[in-house]
Amino acid sequence: MKKTILDLKVGQYALVRQFADFEATCKLLTMGLLPNARVELIRKAPFGGALYIRMQNHLIAMRENEAASVEIEIV
Amino acid sequence: MMSAKVALAGNPNAGKSSIFNLLTGLRQKTANFPGVTVEKKTGTFKLGTSQVQLVDLPGTYSLFPNSKDEKLVCQVMCNPQNESFPDLVIYVADINQLERHLLLASQIIDLGVPTIVVLNMIDVFIENGHKVEPKPLADFLGVPVIAMNARNGEGLELLKQKLQLFLDEGAASFTRSAKIYTFSETEEKAAALANQVFNIDQAYRAKLTAHHYHWFEFLPEDLKSKMAAMLPSSGFEDIRIQIQETMRRFAVIQEVLPVVIETHTSREQKLSISVDNVLTHKIGGPVIFFGLMFIIFQSIFALAEYPMTWIENGFSYLGAHTRSFLPASWFTDLLVDGLLAGLSGVLVFAPQIVILFFFLALLEESGYMSRVVYMFDHIMQKFGLNGRSMVSLISSGACAIRAIMSTRTIGSWKETIITIMVAPLIPCSARIPVYTVLIALMVPAGLHYGPFNAQGLVFMALYLLGIVASLAVAFVMKLILKSDERSYLMLELPAYKKPIWSNVGLEVWDKLLAFVTNAGKVIVIISLGLWFLASYGPGNAIEEAVNKVNETTLHLTPEQHQAVLQSAQLEASYAGIIGKWIEPAIAPLGFDWKIGISLITSFAAREVFVGTMATIYSIGGDAEESSVRERMAAELKPGTNQPMYDTATSMSLLIFYAFALQCMSTLAVTKKETNSWKWPAIQFVLMTGMAYLGSWLTYHLLS
């Protein structure tokens, strides 16, 4: 099983490796989530469902299913 | 005199509107792009002897659009015949996010449109210990690059100099000779095909047309079918090539960036993360959010009270003096009872609207709004909505029109439709006047429960009712509507910023002006029409009514006699006849024919209620110009000593105004946004039905 952003624990870093989902890729890319980008899980939303992520020099929020489409390598 | 069309483009949160405000100041107006409900801010300014028209394009990440906003920008930039197609683009990029912000810049430059790139927010950049070096970037992009700090206007003069240079010398030094992005063989073929079919010789525009031709509205249908038939043979796969282009553009940008600017983690970002430890905390986050909302709506009441009294007194004074200066005639009556009464009814609510929009602009400017989207996305999904719906629902607290327009960023059809349908249930600023007047009749001013203003608490309860109703309707619609389309959150959380006060000020000013002119126009016209309808009746019906009163009510005191007389006069007028006509339908709700008149006039816009009441109770007015509130409080149920506006009737009327869709503009914007008559029709029937049922229940429970 390949790891995805969803497997990150709060405070953990990873590098983006691949995108599993074709449709979501376009959106992820324009937000700057590129292969080799460094991502860190900062926290989870109060009512669950969404993740607060630091990506190199900016912050983004994404849903769990969106996070599950980004394959990563934990560093 | 020369004139030029200049467009501001850039990613969301790049600071475009600050630069727009710096250049145009108060010479700006907000309208819509033709045919769509995307907000179009335009302004003009003078530069030397030339006139510059500036358009603020909606924030866009890329020319591969994901939302209605982005589609609009794409259509403007790919169609030189579009009325907004610019002679020059001022591209605004956040220098602290340069890598991402250069994606769209490189696309626009490749379209061959003359461009100036503005690196904004250099203050933060320098604070973080970096040096701003625009030159290497300018060499790479092949267009002028300047550094700016829109917060204090630093760099504005340089931007104006560059604009002047463009006006004087033309496009040459603002256009890159070769494309930044090199086509693959397939892309070459697709672009050549687009050129052959649509006659587009600009290579990158041709390639983008190959991606987007099927939804470009400006292309003729027969050519689209021709393109659709020919394109597959070139092996052109839309999405795959979009991804390929985006990744390769980033690769080129990354290659040049280390030379220009290093990527880094800024102090500003670390600060935002710490602030969000509190503001988006598991428990603290939602508590703070609801606390903020509570404070905002409490202060609408508390702070607006004084200026409202000044405005009311001012108009009373003005009315009384106008009457004493002018001879008694129908014209004086029209002026005082029609025009001044109507105007006062509108302007008295300006303070509350200013306060509400001030807070909304503050939430937006500071970056807090995106945290709200993030926090509530999961809950919103349970109701068939998107986290972004929160922005719409909160702005609905100001105006449903603005709320419905902001649904264009949601993306998914189902979530958009549901948000549009429920947004008008959230109490908008136009309900404030109605609520204020009616609450004042039920709850005495100055009554406090602990530290809380009692009127404010009732107000709060009505807001909660609106929120609960909208969520309930959303939930039902979620079960009914079917859609396979996926929805996304994918949201940028911009670093917290100190709000730029001039931006907040201009936003509030813009909205106040819109309220006063739009609502003002409708209210004044309706007030004048109503004054006529309430002052005149068919034939000599009014005279007959007066005579009848004089014959039958000899045993009354002069005051009572006067009141009965006024009532009889109004009853015999055209307005009275109309009100009487619908009375049977609204009597079960506890309403009389006078309220009936207000309900009819309110269907254009609900804030007309107060103006209508003002006009109705001013007709045949006594010498003393008292306020609508006082007049309504003094009104008695016919034939009794009971106040007309007792708790049951006032509450029933409040519920009616809480639910009923009395706003033509909302229906119009729903029609435009959904592109069908079906949704506005459903919206109207549903909300009016809820209003009638709710009022009926309320009246029967309370009376």
pLDDT value of residue B593? 86
Say if CB B93 and CB B10 are below 8 A apart.
yes
Q: How far is A6 from chain B (nearest CA, A)?
A: 14
Q: Which amino acid is at B481?
A: L
CB contact under 8 A, A58 and B490: no
Which residues on B lie below 8 Å from A60 (Cβ)? 490-493
Other Cβ atoms closer than 10 A to B601: 27
Q: How far is A30 from chain B (nearest CA, A)?
A: 6
Q: How far is A45 from chain B (nearest CA, A)?
A: 5
Which residues on B lie below 8 Å from A42 (Cβ)? 273, 276
Other Cβ atoms closer than 10 A to B122: 22
The CA distance from B225 to B239, in Å, is 20
Which CATH number does the domain A5-74 belong to among 2.30.30.90, 2.170.270.10, 3.40.50.300, 3.40.50.620? 2.30.30.90
pLDDT value of residue B33? 61
Which residues on B lie below 8 Å from A35 (Cβ)? 247
Q: Which residues are CB-contacts of B379 (< 8 A; sequence separation ≥ 6)?
A: A47
Q: DSSP letter at B30?
A: E
Nearest Cα to B420, choosing from B430, B406, B434? B406
- Chain A stretch 39-68, residues whose beta carbon is closer than 8 A to a beta carbon of chain B: 42-43, 45-50, 52, 54, 56-63, 66
**pLDDT at A43 exceeding the cut of 70:** yes
- Stated length of chain B: 703
- The residue of chain B nearest to residue A46, with distances taken between CA atoms, is B282
Say if CB B373 and CB B390 are below 8 A apart.
yes
pLDDT value of residue B680? 93
The answer to whether B489 faces chain A, any CB pair under 8 Å, is yes
The answer to whether A12 faces chain B, any CB pair under 8 Å, is no
The CA distance from B653 to B435, in Å, is 9
CB contact under 8 A, A54 and B379: no
If chain B, 703 residues long, is cut into consecutive pieces of 10 residues, what is the mean pLDDT of each piece? 88 91 82 65 89 93 88 94 94 91 96 96 85 89 95 93 93 91 94 95 95 94 94 88 92 77 65 92 93 82 81 86 83 79 74 83 89 94 93 83 81 91 89 84 80 82 91 95 84 88 86 75 74 82 79 67 74 87 92 87 77 68 56 74 83 93 83 87 95 95 87
Where residue B235 falls (left for φ over 0; alpha for ψ -120 to 50; beta otherwise) is left
- The residue of chain A nearest to residue B98, with distances taken between CA atoms, is A57
Nearest to B377 among A22, A24, A50 (CB): A50
The answer to whether A34 faces chain B, any CB pair under 8 Å, is yes
Nearest to B100 among A27, A32, A54 (CB): A32
The answer to whether A25 faces chain B, any CB pair under 8 Å, is yes
Say if CB B89 and CB B175 are below 8 A apart.
no
Q: Which residues are CB-contacts of A47 (< 8 A; sequence separation ≥ 6)?
A: B286, B375, B376, B378, B379
- Chain B stretch 54-83, residues whose beta carbon is closer than 8 A to a beta carbon of chain A: 61-62, 64, 66
CB contact under 8 A, A23 and B486: yes
ipTM for the predicted complex comes to 0.94
CB contact under 8 A, B250 and A34: yes
In order of their start, the domains of chain B are 3-174 (3.40.50.300), 185-260 (no CATH), 284-480 (no CATH), 520-702 (no CATH)
Give residue for tokens 């300047």. Answer: B146
Element at B571 (helix H, strand E): helix B558-572
Say if CB B231 and CB B190 are below 8 A apart.
yes
Q: Which amino acid is at B606?
A: R
Nearest Cα to B527, choosing from B345, B325, B315? B345
Q: What is the dihedral of CA B492, B497, B500, B504, to 10 degrees?
A: 60
Angle of CA points B652, B654, B656, to nearest 5° = 70
CB contact under 8 A, A57 and B97: yes
Q: What token pair was written down for B68? A: 């209605």
Q: In this structure, what are the phi and psi dihedrals at residue B415, rounded to the nearest 5 degrees?
A: -65, -35
Where residue B346 falls (left for φ over 0; alpha for ψ -120 to 50; beta otherwise) is alpha
The CA distance from B633 to B240, in Å, is 69
CB contact under 8 A, A59 and B495: yes
The answer to whether B272 faces chain A, any CB pair under 8 Å, is yes
CB contact under 8 A, B61 and A50: no
Q: How far is B493 from chain A (nearest CA, A)?
A: 5
pLDDT value of residue B624? 45
Say if CB B146 and CB B117 are below 8 A apart.
yes
Determine whether B1 is exposed, middle or buried from the number of CB atoms within 10 Å of its CB (0-12, 13-18, 19+).
exposed
- The residue of chain A nearest to residue B371, with distances taken between CA atoms, is A61
Q: How far is B67 from chain A (nearest CA, A)?
A: 11
Nearest to A66 among B61, B66, B490 (CB): B490
Nearest Cα to B670, choosing from B400, B387, B429, B426? B400
The answer to whether B250 faces chain A, any CB pair under 8 Å, is yes
Which residues on A lie below 8 Å from B266 (Cβ)? 57
The answer to whether A27 faces chain B, any CB pair under 8 Å, is yes
Which residues on A lie below 8 Å from B493 (Cβ)? 52, 58-61
Which residues on B lie below 8 Å from A70 (Cβ)? none
Largest CA distance in chain A: 30
Size of interface A-B (CB pairs under 8 A): 122
pLDDT value of residue B567? 73
Q: What token pair was written down for A32? A: 């700057």
- The residue of chain B nearest to residue A52, with distances taken between CA atoms, is B374
Give residue for tokens 């100041």. Answer: B25
CB contact under 8 A, B269 and A58: yes
The answer to whether B280 faces chain A, any CB pair under 8 Å, is yes
CB contact under 8 A, A63 and B488: yes
Q: Which residue has the higher pLDDT, B476 or A21?
A: B476
The CA distance from B255 to B260, in Å, is 10
- Stated length of chain A: 75
The CA distance from B517 to B608, in Å, is 13
The CA distance from A17 to A31, in Å, is 16
Q: What token pair was written down for B406? A: 């902001």
Q: How far is A60 from chain B (nearest CA, A)?
A: 4
pLDDT value of residue B262? 47
Nearest Cα to B116, choosing from B72, B66, B52? B52
The answer to whether B100 faces chain A, any CB pair under 8 Å, is yes
The CA distance from B87 to B700, in Å, is 65
Say if CB B37 and CB B71 are below 8 A apart.
no
CB contact under 8 A, B247 and A29: yes
CB contact under 8 A, B375 and A23: no
Mutate to test the interface with B, among A39, A59, A64 (most CBs of B within 10 A): A59
Helix, strand or coil, per DSSP, at residue B409? helix
Helix, strand or coil, per DSSP, at residue B9? strand
Which residues on A lie below 8 Å from B239 (Cβ)? 22-23, 26
Q: Where are the domains of chain A?
A: 5-74
The CA distance from B500 to B259, in Å, is 32
Say if CB B210 and CB B191 are below 8 A apart.
yes
Nearest to B273 among A31, A42, A45 (CB): A42
The answer to whether B286 faces chain A, any CB pair under 8 Å, is yes
CB contact under 8 A, B100 and A58: yes
pLDDT value of residue B174? 95
